[in-house]
Amino acid sequence: MIELKNITYSVKGTSQEEREILKDLSAIFEEGKTYVITGPNGSGKSTLARLIMGINPLQHGEIFFDGQNIGNLSITQRAKAGICYAFQKPVTFKGVKIKSLLNIASGKENNVGGLCEYLSAVGLCAKDYIHRPFDDKLSGGEQKRIELALTLARNAKVNIFDEPEAGIDIWSFEKLTSIFKKLKKATNIIISHQSRIFEIADEIILLENGQIAKRGSYKQMKKHLQNARCGKLGGEA
């Protein structure tokens, strides 16, 4: 379980003025539940995810993971504790083969069958990819899929996905949603603008101007999301 208490996060604006991106935000993400965070561009979704992972330093407020205050832990310590983050724009590793990354992520030496299981779950054929490096020569969509396969291999207690649908336009959404179903014992926090991802959420959190504007089940939120300001909300791929 992840608990956020009174998180405020500011950046310096163009004329060096303080700009609050997140404003006294508190939320609980329970174990075994899937949450979708949505909201207009620039509302603070990625900033929130980066704070949980420790990529952005905590300024004000507290973050607890299964009761432990993790606010001062490094990214590596949080990853070791069981938090996994799939970036909006994946970070590639020049020269490191996808096979090695999947073995590191899963913490074991996988045979081809095992590697195939992770890659086929994201619609990729193992024999075409395991010997390739995870670098910029892969297309944006391939990078996103491989990052998802790595998340699957990690099998962490908390998974944060930042717009997992981005760049995977023609990919069947069933495949994407089946990944979240495979990870359903974990706490899944998915940042998304996609109605088909909203449907699999236990709870949807609408972020506006760095605050939770509304939260509830898809049924409760559906109408509100359709009327929300962001054109992407409730939209199709």
Ligand X SMILES: Nc1ncnc2c1ncn2[C@@H]1O[C@H](COP(=O)(O)OP(=O)(O)OP(=O)(O)O)[C@@H](O)[C@H]1O
Residue 14 contact partner, candidates ligand X, Mg ion, none, CB within 5 to 8 A by sort of partner: none
38 counts as binding Mg ion under rule CB under 5 A: no
- What distance in Å separates the CA atoms of residue 235 and residue 209, rounded to the nearest whole number? 20
Q: Pick from 4, 25, 35, 43: which binds ligand X (CB under 6 A)?
A: 43
φ/ψ of residue 140, rounded to 5: -55, -45
Number of residues interacting with ligand X: please give it, by CB under 6 A: 11
DSSP state of 183: T
Identify which range of 36-44, 116-124, 132-140, 151-159 contacts ligand X by CB under 6 A.
36-44
46 counts as binding Mg ion under rule CB under 5 A: yes
7 counts as binding ligand X under rule CB under 6 A: no
Helix (H) or strand (E) holding 206: strand 203-208
Sequence-separated (6 or more) residues with CB below 8 Å from residue 214: 205, 206, 221, 224
In the complex, the smallest distance separating the C-beta of residue 65 from Mg ion, rounded to whole angstroms, is 22
Closer to Mg ion by Cβ: residue 33 or 232: 232
Q: Pick from 2, 4, 7, 21: which binds ligand X (CB under 6 A)?
A: 21
DSSP string covering 12-70: E-TTS-EEEEEEEEEEEE-TT-EEEEE-STTSSHHHHHHHHHTSSPP-EEEEEETTEE-
41 counts as binding ligand X under rule CB under 6 A: yes
Residue 145 contact partner, candidates Mg ion, ligand X, none, CB within 5 to 8 A by sort of partner: none
Provide the CA 78 distance to its chain's centre, in angstroms: 15
| Positions that interact with ligand X (CB under 6 A) | 11, 21, 39, 41-47, 88
| Positions that interact with Mg ion (CB under 5 A) | 45-46, 88
